[in-house]
Structure 1
Amino acid sequence: MRYFIEFSYNGKKYHGWQIQPEAISVQEKLNDAISTIFRKKIEVVGAGRTDTGVHASQMYAHFDVENEIAEDIVFKLNSILPDDIAVYQVFLVDDQKHARFDAVSRTYQYKIWLGRNPFLLDFSWQIHSLKPNLTKMNEAAKLLMEYEDFQCFSKVKTNVHTFNCNIFEAFWVQNGNELTFTISANRFLRNMVRAIVGTLIDVGLDKISIDDFRKIIESKNRSNAGLSVPAKGLFLTNIKY
């Protein structure tokens, strides 16, 4: 029997979602909790991979067991898991449904705070004295929908078969001192969103033009793009099946 788990996590203390040698991951913690409940080794399969320090306000994973689970499994999981991981629901799905491969879109948001706010230090990139031009950044962001190859925004040393992604939306919104960048796609490359944000900020600060942004995409060269902004401002916020 296959079950889906919906959960969230604060990524500050974790080296990303995926299990890694000699590093603490969210997947490891979830595996341990479920294995403890069922008293056997069980491994969960996540809907995607978040990098070190990245958060998820909505994440899914699946696992397989032989028998129907108890109704109080959410309570039991949350009793075992650390406080920075929270399970919301566990539900039965078709045996063929896959948390990763059946996802049709994923949405990330990046948070920037203009100024200083000690209560948002772990959940935003704080820019103290700069005010990027949101109109220019949104004009540049629209160009992302015209392309499929995003090698220029990918981590250089990464093992992927293709750099193609279908981006459905990409836009900035300002609410007071908070800037939020939202981007949805069928898949993302390693470090892709943080590199896009860094390059769009360069547009907003007039370090590069909107036409330069287009040329960076077409160059397929990571060294031409902007900096990779801090992981703490990035959230996986929605997964659709």
Structure 2
Amino acid sequence: MRYFIELSYRGTAYHGWQTQANGSSVQSTLEAALTQRLRKPVFVVGSGRTDAGVHARQQFAHFDLVEPILLSDALIYSINCILPEDIAIRTIFPVRPNDHARFSAVSRYYQYHITRYKNSFENSLTYHFRPDLEIDRMNEACQILLKYTDFKSFSKARANVDHFRCRLDFAYWQRSESDLLTFHIKANRFLWGMVRTIVGTMLEIGQDRMSLDKFEQLIVAQDRTIAGRAAPANGLYLVDVGYPAELLAQRVLFG
């Protein structure tokens, strides 16, 4: 039997999603809780590998069991009681044997949050960035970004991938009434470090330190060394992972 887990987490205390030899990860913490509650070894596969300090409002993972389990609100509650406060399971539901948390996903949607004012309650949840930014120019850069599909210039050099192509659905900046600046971006896939590097580069544009022409040139150049520095991890959130409707057919929310 294969099951999907829908969960969320605050990534501040973790060395990313993937199990690490030198620190705690969301994956290993989740596996330990499931193993303890289900009384059998459980290994999970996530929809993607968020970096150290990155948060997820919605993440999916799958695991396999020989025997079916009785899904209920009590089961979800008991696992959440084992998990630390910064990881929460929303639901667990059965899927087909060939459904895969990573390879069956059709989209990922990220947000990056920036505030100009220091907030002692959100210091690890937003990026405190004081300089004024020209949001209109940053949104013009988004329109340039949407023209392309190869984003090697925004990928970490050590990325182990066959290609650097991604299909972007949207990319834009939005300012709220509380002066929270949010970058929205959705694609079928993302490269390692891609969103944070795009944000860091667009902050250069917003401060008039990089022209729109130069921004387009660096995309075409496919050279990470000429893009901006990556923005800090604490402002980045995985917000939504998209799947075909038939995969989510048995998804029931508990609690």
**Is the shorter-chain TM-score for this pair beyond 0.5, marking a shared fold?**
yes
Residue pairs, 1:72-87, within 5 angstroms: 72-87=74-89
Query: Once the 2 structures are TM-superposed, how far is the Cα of residue 73 of structure 1 from its aligned partner?
Result: 2.0
Other-structure match for 2:135: 134
Query: Once the 2 structures are TM-superposed, how far is the Cα of residue 67 of structure 1 from its aligned partner?
Result: 2.2
Contact 1:58 1:238 survives alignment (8 Å): yes
Query: Once the 2 structures are TM-superposed, how far is the Cα of residue 118 of structure 1 from its aligned partner?
Result: 1.5
Residues 81-102 of structure 1: CA deviation (Å, up to 9, x unaligned): 1110000111111111111100
- 2:228 matches 1:226: yes
Query: Once the 2 structures are TM-superposed, how far is the Cα of residue 23 of structure 1 from its aligned partner?
Result: 1.5
Give 5+ residue unaligned stretches, structure 1: none
Aligned residues: 240
Corresponding letter in the other structure for 1:158: A
CA distance in 1, matches of 2:144, 2:169: 11
CA distance in 2, matches of 1:42, 1:31: 6
The secondary structure found in structure 2 opposite 1:141 is helix
Q: Superposition RMSD on alpha carbons, in Å?
A: 0.9
CA distance in 2, matches of 1:138, 1:227: 19
- 2:38 matches 1:38: yes
Runs of 4+ in 1 over 4 A off after TM superposition: none
CA distance in 1, matches of 2:126, 2:188: 25
Query: Once the 2 structures are TM-superposed, how far is the Cα of residue 177 of structure 1 from its aligned partner?
Result: 1.6
Residue pairs, 1:1-241, within 5 angstroms: 1-70=1-70, 71=72, 72-128=74-130, 130-175=131-176, 176-241=178-243
Residues 91-130 of structure 1: CA deviation (Å, up to 9, x unaligned): 11111111110000000000000122222211111112x1
CA distance in 2, matches of 1:134, 1:197: 12
Normalising by structure 2, report the TM-score.
0.92
Contact 1:43 1:63 survives alignment (8 Å): yes
Residues 31-70 of structure 1: CA deviation (Å, up to 9, x unaligned): 1111112222110110111001000000000111122222
Corresponding letter in the other structure for 1:223: T
Normalising by structure 1, report the TM-score.
0.97
Corresponding letter in the other structure for 1:239: V
The secondary structure found in structure 2 opposite 1:189 is coil
The secondary structure found in structure 2 opposite 1:62 is strand
Contact 1:73 1:90 survives alignment (8 Å): no
CA distance in 2, matches of 1:158, 1:171: 25
